[in-house]
């Protein structure tokens, strides 16, 4: 049996609902859980998507292997990381939202 048995209805317009749903999704929460956390002033954390995790892993790998790599290989890896960041940034600017943070 569900522990939460009482319902609360709120009215929002289409745009507000879309914003709330996106924010909940970015935090990997249901809309109800997200609104509960907002209303109860609990911490809400956005979960970065796989692309950010991949960039972090690439930077970390470079850090641990930098002594063994020659200059050209270091530059190649850094350019790859920069390209990944650029693709995320341009996607956000073009679409006007933060689509890469969980959507």
Report pLDDT digits (tens) over 34-93: 999 999 988 888 777 788 888 999 999 999 999 999 999 999 999 999 998 888 877 765
Residues 41 and 54 in one domain: no
Please indicate, yes or no, whether residues 57 and 83 belong to a single structural domain of this protein: yes
Domain total of the chain? 2
Residue of 69, 70, 50, 51 lying closest to 61 (CA atoms): 69
Whether residues 42 and 76 share a domain: the answer is: no
6 located within any domain: no
* Residue 79: inside a domain: yes
Q: Which domain holds residue 56?
A: 50-95
Q: Is residue 103 part of a domain?
A: no
Question: Is the pTM higher than 0.85?
Answer: no
Residues 59 and 31 both lie in one domain: no
Non-local CB neighbours of 32 within 8 Å, separated by 6+ positions: 4
Q: What does the buried/exposed string (b/e) look like for 44-74 if buried means 16 or more CB atoms within 10 Å of the residue's CB?
A: eeeeebeebeebeeeeeebeeeeeeeeeeee
Q: 101 vs 48, which has greater pLDDT?
A: 48
| 42 & 54 share domain | no
């Amino acid at each position: 049996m569900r522990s939460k048995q009482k319902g609360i209805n709120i009215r929002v317009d289409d745009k507000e609902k879309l914003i709330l749903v996106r924010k909940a999704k970015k935090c990997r929460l249901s809309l109800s859980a997200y609104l509960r956390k907002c209303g109860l002033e609990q911490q809400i954390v956005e979960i970065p998507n796989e692309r950010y995790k991949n960039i972090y892993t690439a930077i970390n790998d470079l850090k641990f292997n930098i002594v063994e790599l020659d200059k050209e290989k270091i530059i190649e890896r850094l350019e790859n990381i920069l390209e990944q960041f650029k693709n995320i940034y341009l996607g956000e600017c073009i679409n006007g939202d933060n689509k890469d943070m969980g959507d």
